[in-house]
Amino acid sequence: MARHLVTSAIPYINGIKHLGNLVGSQLPADLFARYQRARGNEVMFICATDEHGTPAELAAQKAGKPVADYCAEMHEVQARIAEGFRLSFDHFGRSSSTQNRRLTQAFAKRLFDMGLIREVSEKQMYSNADGRFLPDRYIEGTCPNCGYDSARGDQCDNCTKQLDPVDLIDPRSVISGSTDLEMRETKHLFLRQSAMKDKLDAWIDSKTDWPVLTTSIAKKWLHDGDGLQDRGITRDLSWGVPAQFEGAPWEGMEGKVFYVWFDAPIEYIAGTQEWAEASGGDWERWWRTDKGAEDVTYTQFMGKDNVPFHTLSFPATILGSEEPWKLVDYIKSFNYLNYDGGQFSTSRGRGVFMDQALEILPSDYWRWWLLSHAPESADAEFTWENFQVSVNKDLADVLGNFVSRITKFTRSKFGEAIPEGGDWGEAGEALIAELTTRIRDYERFMEAKEVRKAAAELRAIWVAGNEYLQSSAPWSVFKTDPVQAGAIARLALNLVPLYAVLSAPFIPDAAASMLEGMHATDQTWPADVAAAVRALPEGHAFTTPDVLFGKISDEEREDWQSRFAGIRT
């Protein structure tokens, strides 16, 4: 039994996430975790809410709530929505946890002891109108690299270039909009990433199987311009992991917290500690290579904007500690999903958000479309027309129609039990051979985290059943040879639980309904397809399930397209 540690990018606490956020991290991570569990492997799937830093403070301020209260409320909201989308986290934690505070401070102290943290007196942007230093993300302006007019002080979300506030053209305060800004002296801690450049470069070079998107972004940060720069890891904020603590090897950091991008990835480890404390499990066997984690395969899922921090900053923390922590083995990164001619945006409220999606349709509809259109090799675009076509053709006409046709036909001619006798003949054997090949290809794509190819292969598996049913035509055969018609139906009925098991990582609710209807909830992954299509014996009872997927009408599509054309407030 293999062991898989799976993490997805940790979503910011500042509001409900949109579908682009979902498909870029949490949803494909869930797909992979569900698949590995289905194969009988041990999985630890960890995520959390990212609760520190500027986004949390600004969102709490806008909501008129203390930041701690706001974060606690939004964590519950995000956890509930994640459950609605059937995201199968083993633990969904909080970066504000006690465990993360302790671990972040311990890492910082260790890195200082290893000579990788230095104190720097620097000038930082101060807003006279707001009467405070402005952390990077409290400052917006025009990106000097691509001209995007809403770049933040730490990074341009449009071109992903790492920035400092002084790089921005026409900077302004996010709090007040004031341009009355000046540079003032302040002291901060810096992680000496530059000292880790060669080690990080060699580590990334060793990952020959990583997606080009992942390695190209990492290499760009390592080698473009002046190369990898030291990075400030403290900020002048009140909400976060305190940078001055008992046992800290520095002084004068009162009133400062660790930078959100320093403490947030550490929550992966801290979240596993939280899971262990709640469940009595052993977190170290997942994260300490001296405690068993050397046998773990660790996979991260994220959007391309998060890649620099997970290929450079977080690994610099892990490698720099020179302690036996588990490093990531594979980083699956995604491009952006755009929305109907523009961009999804949490901060600007544009697009369909996760809570709204669940109010319209069950999660399987969204899971299927998003995963089958995942933005792997390039940016993708959500359109209502494409969504309608995909749901109606893939889910309703192919999978749903197959299940409905064979169960209703069998009920009408044989009753709700697997028919007895007969031989399904060469056509049945040809189907088994085709399914065997396709299922092995499906497994190969899933293992490789090639999401769209896996979805396409799964659909082809569904299509094969439809084509068999159509060409074998048991409803016609029944007129002259009821026993032969029953044999055809027996094979087709056995495809229903087979399809359910294969489809569960993509559409878990529909898969559960299919298994329940066939009274086959104990079905396992089909190592032997020939045996799997004989799993339900003659006489086995089933219940004709309700319609799995309803079609989206033109009127519904037009209504939703109109409803979500504007900006969410």
Task: Decide: residue 216, CB within 10 A, 0-12 exposed, 13-18 middle, 19+ buried.
Answer: middle
What is the DSSP code (8-state) at residue 551?
A: P
Q: Phi and psi at residue 334, in whole multiples of 5°?
A: -125, 150
117-127 and 91-94 as β-strands: parallel, antiparallel, unpaired? unpaired
Q: Establish whether 346 is an annotated binding residue.
A: yes
C-beta separation of 396 from 550 below 8 A = yes
List, as one string, the DSSP characters of 66-89.
-HHHHHHHHHHHHHHHHHHTT---
Task: Decide: residue 479, CB within 10 A, 0-12 exposed, 13-18 middle, 19+ buried.
Answer: exposed
> Which two structure tokens, joined as six digits, stand for 325?
């922590």
Q: Phi and psi at residue 81, in whole multiples of 5°?
A: -70, -40
| Helix residue ranges, H only, 146-298 | 197-205, 212-223, 260-263, 266-279, 284-287
Rg of the chain over Cα atoms, rounded to whole angstroms, equals 27
Q: Establish whether 143 is an annotated binding residue.
A: yes
CA 116 to chain centre: 31
Alpha-carbon torsion (61, 63, 64, 70), positive or negative: negative
Annotated binding site for ATP: 346
Annotated binding site: 143, 146, 156, 159, 346
Annotated binding site for Zn(2+): 143, 146, 156, 159
